[in-house]
Structure 1
């Protein structure tokens, strides 16, 4: 058979792919099954296997479609899928390319809500230890909501009625639709940068779960958690619950209730002040009564009835101390007079003129003795120096050389014996007036007495 009749693998795969694409039953198909081997790629694509109890098919959901999901696909989740079936040429396998996905049996938004709630709870964002205290008497209340909605009107009217001293600062935000989450986050940043805001109310009026969904976004939840200003969440009606309610420092069922939680009631403050006033009055009245009673008791006490008995012992003690002081002064004066007389006698005995004469005679004698001793010592040192010079002169080698002697050196060392020399050695001979170089021609040893 001719080789021209054989197809390449690529050609066969392309043919099969065209068949898949031409089949209208493989376009816009609706399939339900269980997710398996779910892999969310960093690029945003989602790859998984869709299976039932008898078959399975490889599936892919690319980033554009995946970004529209309100929930996170998880292992074992039953889903309803809409998409196309086609062939992946590189591997020759057919795949389901998913365009949309929703949970089977539960709404996508509800599932996304539960997933995010579970994730943030595991991270500790709902823990009570992170909740900030709402100030008792706020000077400025920040409000993040729609500029023209009913929520801002309810909040303003409630605060003006309850505590008109508070200033309301509105940070307008989109609270519904795709732009709502970024708008709320930006408003939170503006409120922090504004400064002097004591508490923030974040919320809007009621609506469907889709209308309130911005307050279930992860970015909004993390922005509320990161805000350094206490936040009261007021989203929807009393039965509505959002992720923002769990993350906020306090949850209010409605915007009106949030305003009531944010500021105190002036009537309640007046009542509290009146109660404090009464309490202080009663306290001071009781204190005055107690002190008056103590005063009466003190006035009627025995010491105050006979006050002279209080200071009589002190007068007697002062008199005794005064007598002791007089006696001590007289004794001290007598002692000082006797000491003065004794010192006067000693001073007369050690008169300066007498001492000077005695010290002068002593100095003269010592000078004469020192002079004689120096003369004797000088004479002894001179004699010793003269003897040392004579000895040095006698031992001086140059003096010996003047009598015809010389010194022989070999390599810088004095040659003291012929036993250290050999014929041919170069010698240096030191004479009285110079040196000369010579070479040994012959050596003759001195005969010993025994050899003779």
Structure 2
């Protein structure tokens, strides 16, 4: 039976937490419910319980995320949250880490806003590359807003104060209500059809998300993106952001701010013109002084006072240079000719037919030398061979047997001593012209005197 392996509570909790963290459905989730047990920590973090009729979950919204909230959460408040689900390891409980929070009363609008914002951003309508520059000195400025609201008064007052020579053309549109989105989109088309506007301000004053909703509609966003006239978006207050703000070429915090971004300040232009005028005068004076000094220098120079003498000197210098050029030219031509003759002679010596002839002569000479060497080697080797043959003949047993000697064997063993045989033993005697089978009859020892 295998041994049971136990895990620690910490290891189990870490394992469960990893399961939560890798689940894509839990990394970005929308939840709605009622807040209870709300606690605002001294460090700015918010801790609470989110519940409905049948369940509850712990929630935390850190200070970095909740500092942009436009309302204060309270117990009993119904809210819409966006966040991620994970496990708090110390308690082993799962909880929602909140990134965004809105009151549930505007939850559907906020969801629609976020969905459209995500889709348009994915299409590239917010990309900086599509932003058109705002002209510095516009002649005609179009304004799309309500003709009776405070926004148009603020825009006209600001433009007349800062840049009164600009002409403002009001293109009225509904900026609140069911038909407002279509009205604003139609006004943008009308402004582009005029073909005289340098810049276009689109906006209205502040309000709730329902009141500003016309500028969160897709029809308005796409018309702003398609506009050939640069558009400054001026919707609501500084803290209000709409889809129109992200698509427009430039966002202004307020309608007054849009007017300030659309035109320069007349007094600032006058100051800038005055400054450049002074700088231009100073530059002209410095240029005149510098050129006057150069003229005085030239007037006092030798060339200006004695042009004829200078001309004659230059003529002599030219003659010297021409003579030197001709001399160097002749020297170069002579050098080239010598090089040509040397190359021609070298080419003649290296002609293929001459090389073949010299190679053939060398071949014949080497062939004769080879024959001589071969003949000498053959004669020498023949003499060595004859001497070796004579030496072999002198040492050959057959030559010894010619003089009457014989060789005795006993079963292929050479008999060299009487100690190797016994009486009656059969032996073989090799003679010059044959072999004898013999039997030992007797053995007689003989002493060999040295």
- Identify the TM-score tier after normalising by the shorter chain: 0.3 to 0.5
With normalisation by structure 2, the TM-score equals 0.47
